[in-house]
Amino acid sequence: MKVIIDLIEDIADAIDNNENFSLSVMSLKKDENSQFQPVWQSDISGFSLDEEQRKLFLFLGKTQALKIGAFCDQLNALENKQMMYEVNISYTKEDKRIDAPLIGFGESLEDKKYLLFIK
């Protein structure tokens, strides 16, 4: 389980909060050699904080991807207790909403994307 503070710290370490980067999610699947292989990738276009579930939901979308600068500004304004909320990627597959927890983070310097990994 990854929480908001983990995400903030990794963004700072990995790309130094570079405002030119956008947010993207990559789905991974283990192959026969137990190595993770990419299945699909999509941009994150929005997010919502769910106080009741204590989760941050990041939404995939066809609109412009969230930029790191604006995203981090909003996360850094959260209260300390909210920093421990779990981060989930929310998307629709076969007319069902799927809320997938993060399994890791990464970056693509060439594409200027900060990547969030899910299974």
Write the pLDDT tens digit of every residue in 47-81: 999 999 999 999 998 888 999 999 999 999 999 99
Residues 75-110: pLDDT tens digits?
Answer: 999 999 999 999 999 998 889 999 999 999 999 999
How far, in Å, CA of 82 to CA of 117, rounded? 21
98 three-class SS = strand
105 in Cβ contact with 5 (< 8 Å):
no
Considering only the C-alpha atoms of the chain, give the largest distance between any 2 of them, rounded to a whole number of Å: 43
Cα distances (Å, whole numbers) of residue 51 to 54, 70, 81: 5, 21, 10
What tokens does 112 get? 């200027």
Distance of alpha carbon 74 from alpha carbon 95, whole angstroms: 30
State how beta strands 55-60 and 86-93 pair.
parallel
Angle between helices 68-76 and 4-15 (to 10 degrees): 140
In this prediction, residue 93 carries a pLDDT of 86
